[in-house]
Structure 1
């Protein structure tokens, strides 16, 4: 447009912030149903979890979490892993540290399959998890159905996956050492038992 003096007047339109537009679009999209999942064993490792669930699980990690009034133990032998694998057992004086995920509901069946729910190996347990100064309610974890009387040692592969998950997802160094020592002593005990029976 021109005014009487021949000068051109421009009307500027402020462009919207692209990040804000994208955020608004995300807010308008329907959100996918999810569930909270607390991992304390090999599933702490997002790389190993991806192997079973078929997609990258790093984006679903909320952070390190604490399960109160439980302790870790290797009270089941896994036919798939061919070694002892982790379980949690009620214990009012203990805690278990692990990783809290918020997984899409579509992965629920895959997770159950990984944990051997249909074979009666593990079952769901609904727990409260302390994470980032909050308490998350109705969190799924898995507990062994038929617990052995004595712990069974993990093999080296399972040992390494559990430790890698604990370190990758930021569990405290002291707890990682606790995990290491527990698994190491079980392996040493297992080797002594084999020598005695040989």
Structure 2
């Protein structure tokens, strides 16, 4: 913080006048002259006074020719007119050189806070979800099955980053098609007006799109990709990619216990609603809780 020397000197002078003595230099206030007779010079920081009787009009400021635009800007920003005799930049000025730092106006090369906000922050804040995804070269993926678990999705999609808990309306969670990997039926979503499915919105780099499609068996006709509208915890609706099984219904559509444990663990890990987690815990499974090999190739696990 810069301390204005002229302000300190003025305070000292005023105190000296109140005590009946002058503190350094001529008296600032003339005896018998009211405070109303003093005025501040708008062209410099020093105080001036004109002894006049109370009620006398303030002397008019001499009219001068218009200053150049640069000088006007300097005065507006806190600088001084170099032609003013009381200016520290005038050759006849008695002000010490140390006061020059105070009279320097703000550098025009430094952007203001408003410029910084409008140039850097606002463009990112105003981006739509679609534009934001395009800017980061990624897409949104809504996971509701084993990919709820971070460690699971990162096996094939290491770029996945959690964005938010998501709610997919007018769908319900279901299971179908025996998975060699999980030794039970795999999760899917089915249209169901009035119902909903909770899951996770992941931001995934576009370079992992092929890996995700392959993991879900799109090329084998097991799942198909869908574009759905998912509601975030903030109430924002976002377009996301998800997958729906297109295999014929099988007689035994129970998932394995180990598969359900992965789903429930992922739901707890990412903060899905407790009511929905209790719903997942009540789903009937086939009792298999053995080992699973998540490194298996999808083509070997789910033959056409």
Q: Same fold (TM over 0.5)?
A: yes
Distance 2:251 2:226 in 1: 22
Q: Which has the higher strand share?
A: 1
Q: Does 1:114 align with 2:224?
A: no
Q: Does 1:140 align with 2:241?
A: yes
Report if aligned partners of 1:73, 1:151 keep a CA contact under 8 Å in 2.
no
Distance 1:151 1:133 in 2: 37
Answer with 1 or 2: which has the greater Rg. 2
Aligned to 1:42: 146
1:76-129 Cα offsets, whole Å, 9 max, x none, are 222333321101011113211111122221111111111111111111011111
Report if aligned partners of 1:72, 1:86 keep a CA contact under 8 Å in 2.
yes
Q: How does 1:93-172 map to 2 (within 5 A)?
A: 93-131=194-232, 132-137=234-239, 139-172=240-273
Q: Shift of residue 31 of structure 1?
A: 3.4
CA RMSD of aligned residues (A): 3.1
Distance 1:141 1:54 in 2: 17
* Runs of 4+ off more than 6 Å: 5-14
SS at match of 1:176: helix
SS at match of 1:178: helix
TM-score by length of 1: 0.74
User: Higher relative contact order at CA 8 Å, sep ≥6: structure 1 or structure 2?
Assistant: 1
Q: Shift of residue 149 of structure 1?
A: 4.0
SS at match of 1:170: coil
1:53/1:124 Cα in 2 relative to 1: closer, same or farther (>3 Å)? Answer: same
Q: Which residues of structure 1 form unaligned runs of 5+?
A: 191-198
Distance 1:141 1:171 in 2: 18
1:127/1:108 Cα in 2 relative to 1: closer, same or farther (>3 Å)? Answer: same
Distance 1:31 1:128 in 2: 20
Q: How does 1:173-188 map to 2 (within 5 A)?
A: 173-182=274-283, 185-187=284-286
1:151/1:171 Cα in 2 relative to 1: closer, same or farther (>3 Å)? Answer: farther
1:57-90 Cα offsets, whole Å, 9 max, x none, are 34xx121111111111111222333321101011
2:174 to 58, 61, 73: 73
SS at match of 2:136: coil
SS at match of 2:230: strand
Distance 2:199 2:215 in 1: 18
1:147/1:71 Cα in 2 relative to 1: closer, same or farther (>3 Å)? Answer: farther
